[in-house]
Amino acid sequence: MNTGAPRATIERLCRYQQVLAQLERERVETASSADIGRLAVTNAAQVRKDFSHFGDFGRRGVGYSVSELRARLRAILGTENERTVVIIGAGNLGSALAGYPGFEMRGFRVVAIFDNNPAKIGHWVEGLRILPLSDLATVAAEQRIDIAVIAVPEAAAQAVADQVVEAGIKAILNFAPVYIQVPADVGARTVGVTCQLEYLSYFLAQSQGSSEAEES
């Protein structure tokens, strides 16, 4: 056992969750590290090493109990109890995220959606009424908000992030194509859709000159 889990391990934990969810749907009760490795596009040694950072999960000669492992991963990731999410920006992207079915399934609940555009405020998206962004602090004071998702245009992203921090929210998922600055006690991740396309473009440029392989 060990306490300090590598950042890379945490990023893989999510893949394992996906794989385990799939196995559970297929009524598989036990899986070996080799099984999990194949499905999660890694290898058996990596799987075992990753789990070993958090304790002994498996039975030797048998493998891992799918349901037990899922529960353990949820505990590690802190999603055993529901996490609350607010979405800021009720444009196309924000609306799409508000209705994304994957959130509920994995323990995240969208509790509010905000926008600054008076034409949108008061309208309904996926069962949520669009609130003015100025209400953010009030909403955050009334209930615990775990994560804020920023889905506003690039130009507004930093200002919105500042308001989020001001409201006492400690984690931000940013979809605007700009790196936002936050205090060290706030977690922030930026999802760069364009970056993914550019990476693929690089892959294409490489494999056009000389045949090469690649897998995500």
Partner DNA sequence: CAGTGTGAAGCGCTTCACAGCT
Partner DNA sequence: AGCTGTGAAGCGCTTCACACTG
In angstroms, the CA 19 to CA 26 distance is 11
CB of 149 to DNA, least distance (A): 26
**Is 197 an interacting residue with respect to its own copies (CB under 8 A)?**
yes
Residue 18 partner contact from its own copies, DNA, none using kind-dependent CB cut-offs of 5 to 8 Å: its own copies
Q: Which span (59-67, 101-109, 114-122, 132-140) binds its own copies, by CB under 8 A?
A: 101-109
Could you tell me where the DSSP H helices lie in the chain?
A: 7-25, 33-39, 44-52, 66-77, 92-98, 101-105, 136-142, 154-166, 193-209
The first and second tokens of residue 27, run together, are 């009524």
Residue 189: which H helix or E strand, with range?
strand 187-190
Q: Interaction with its own copies in 114-143: which residues (CB under 8 A)?
A: none
CB of 184 to DNA, least distance (A): 15
| Backbone φ, ψ for residue 87 (5° rounding) | -110, 130
Residue 87 DSSP SS3: strand
CB of 137 to DNA, least distance (A): 35
**Is 84 an interacting residue with respect to its own copies (CB under 8 A)?**
no
CB of 113 to DNA, least distance (A): 35
Binding site for DNA (CB under 7 A): 1, 6-9, 12, 32-34, 42-46, 48-49, 51-52, 56-64
